[in-house]
Structure 1
């Protein structure tokens, strides 16, 4: 099972290390140093994005086997080449007003993020745009969870209270808009307009992609004669008892996953410059890590881990809320990546421990969930 699920991750790792060795030799970086940097960056990406794997699994469970394969094939190409290599170059082009050729020249030249005029410096200058978009997109995901109906309540009193507040129409958008205004006016006085525009783009992107996915999901269920009873509870996130999404519904879920991955990758791309300023090494290292995150996502789905550990999804979504807050705060205050990784890990571990305790207290229910997950 492990070999089947992670075989492409192992292949990508081997290819990545060979490319790193070749590049290290040709760029006079040194084979050993290039390989070491790729391994460190891979670990960085995995540690920062494990909660991403859990959240991705809740969405991937709703997709057909075909679209799961697309997620692992086309999706990884977008993740590695799109988000880890091409996107930073495009971002620097837009924010710095430079031509693609000039940005590529700067990227290959490397340079310290503290030195004006270098690729690392220009990318760091674009951080307010990145953090506002990614922070608001992830915040919308988090708010959609805490204000929506849930099968299990991890932080019981608080989650039940927020679930009641969630009955107010458009409460997610109201709260997100208020947060964005506070950040733009208080935390980001030097970048207020940029933060406001990028944050609004993040909110609109979430509403558009998530809304289209839900729209076509509902339409396809109706076409197949599938109806929900009026008043029946429905979870806003995670697996549902309906058939897996296919066609247009799955396509928009796939787009949703890609935007979600992009939002998670922002802090990793920026944080990687604290380790090396070489964009090629960064792309290889983060790309290898991204492949493992995708394999972990599939592993969680196929093993039914989310059903076996009832609070794991809750912990991952609270970790996303923390990451959204960190991204928004980091517009003005620099926060070490190790802090981001540890906070996310703390939520995951805490929810895992709570899930184990719950299963011990309710052994019959835990057995039923495990049997259902493997059926």
Structure 2
């Protein structure tokens, strides 16, 4: 299982390290390895959340996530996304932005001798808008989770009251909009207030649109959630009935999204992954401004391993074994959303971001282990009592 799931990631990582060595020697190899480790450490909560979505997808869409999805993650978010920001915010042609990226100013300066800004400086200047978009997307994801009334709670002292409050329709959107207004008013630079507000609104709209579409098509899927059989024969064509090999548990057809439902879940997963990658892409520039090394480290190493971890969690049924893992991941998302929004004005070290996520995930796993042990002792006591 481990070799099958992680084998390709190991091979791709070795190839990326070799390419980094040929490109920049030992320095390039070291920087590429550091960036890969940074991405994996920052994105474990991303893998857990991805797994919760991937469990609802057929094997066909899981394969799409590992093939087409990795191309989007590597080349779209880790290479083209920073270049696109420079194109837009710097008013440069794509070729000029790439030339700027490949030819940084001497001695690591922020500007060239003629006073023009470097690629890194332009990207960092756009950080408030990036943070607002990603922060609002992740904040809505977190709020929709904690404001849901769930039978299973982890931090019950706060999750149960929040679940009760969540009975108020659209409360998550109301809270998110209030947070955005406060951030734009008190944390945004004066010359970026309007763009931060617009970027935050776009992040919220993106979440609501993609999440709404995926939910809509899941409800309409034939045979799933009471969907109509007239929704189209193509919707069921992508169904993989052998879901037991996918999750390690008995298949449950109402949890598997196919056709249009699977496509919108795939789209939701890609936008979610993009939102998670914002802090890693921006943080990478504290290590190196070289876009080639960033793509190799964050994309070919980091993104590949995050996807392998996601698949491993699904096929091992880890979310079922560790009952609070999903809760911990969502609290880590909430912390990341807050950090992204605060970073509009306050510089937050990437190590802090990574440690916060690891702390929530570790605490949730420890709580799950304790709960499983308590259940085991209760079963043993019950069986022992039954024999007397």
TM-score (norm 2): 0.87
CA distance in 2: counterparts of 1:158 and 1:225, whole angstroms: 33
Q: CA deviation at 1:10?
A: 1.1
Report what 1:119 is aligned to: 119
Distance in 2 (alpha carbons) for counterparts of 1:14 and 1:244: 34
Match of 2:268 in 1: 256
Q: After superposition, give the CA deviation of every residue in 1:98-149 in whole Å (9 maximum; x if it has no partner).
A: 1111111110013447446111111000101110000000001000100113
**Corresponding position: 1:362 with 2:357:** no
Aligned length: 349
Of 288, 296, 308, the match for 1:284: 296
Q: Distance in 2 between matches of 1:185 and 1:226?
A: 43
Say whether the 8 Å CA contact 1:55–1:313 is kept in structure 2.
yes
Identify the range of structure 1 (322-331 vs 1-10) with the bigger mean alpha-carbon deviation.
Answer: 1-10
Q: Secondary structure at the match of 2:286?
A: coil
| Corresponding residue SS for 2:226 | coil
CA gap 1:364/1:94 in 2 versus in 1, 3 angstroms: farther
1:366 Cα offset (Å): 9.9
Q: Which residue of 1 aligns with 2:241?
A: none
How many Å separate the matches in 1 of 2:34 and 2:225?
Answer: 48
Q: Structure 1 unaligned segments of length 5 or more: list them.
A: 25-30, 229-238, 368-375
Counterparts of 2:186 and 2:323, CA distance in 1: 38
2:59 is the counterpart of 1:47: no
SS at match of 2:28: helix
Report if the CA contact (8 A) 1:113-1:124 is conserved: no
Q: Which 4+ residue blocks in structure 1 deviate beyond 3 angstroms?
A: 111-116, 225-228, 364-367
Within the candidate set 350, 354, 375, 1:341 is matched to 354
Aligned-pair RMSD on alpha carbons?
1.8
The change in CA–CA distance for 1:155 and 1:225 in structure 2 (over 3 A counts) is closer
Q: Answer yes or no: is the 8 Å Cα contact 2:154–2:324 preserved in 1.
A: yes
How big is each residue's C-alpha offset from its partner over 1:23-73, in whole Å with a ceiling of 9 and x where there is no partner?
12xxxxxx2111111110000000000000000000000000011011011
CA deviations 1:190-214 (Å, max 9, x no partner) are: 2210110000000000000010000
1:365: how far off? 9.3
Question: Does 1:315 pair with 2:345?
Answer: no
Spell out the pairing of 1:26-45 with structure 2 (5 A cutoff). 31-45=25-39
The 5 Å alignment of 1:187-198 reads: 187-190=187-190, 191-198=192-199
Give the conservation status (yes or no) of the 8 Å contact 1:113–1:121.
Answer: no
Q: Report what 2:138 is aligned to.
A: 138
> 2 CA distance for matches of 1:187 and 1:57?
34
Give yes or no for the alignment of 1:247 onto 2:259: yes
Please, which runs of 5 or more residues in structure 2 have no aligned partner?
228-248, 381-388
Q: Distance in 2 between matches of 1:282 and 1:311?
A: 33
Tell me the TM-score normalized by structure 1. 0.90
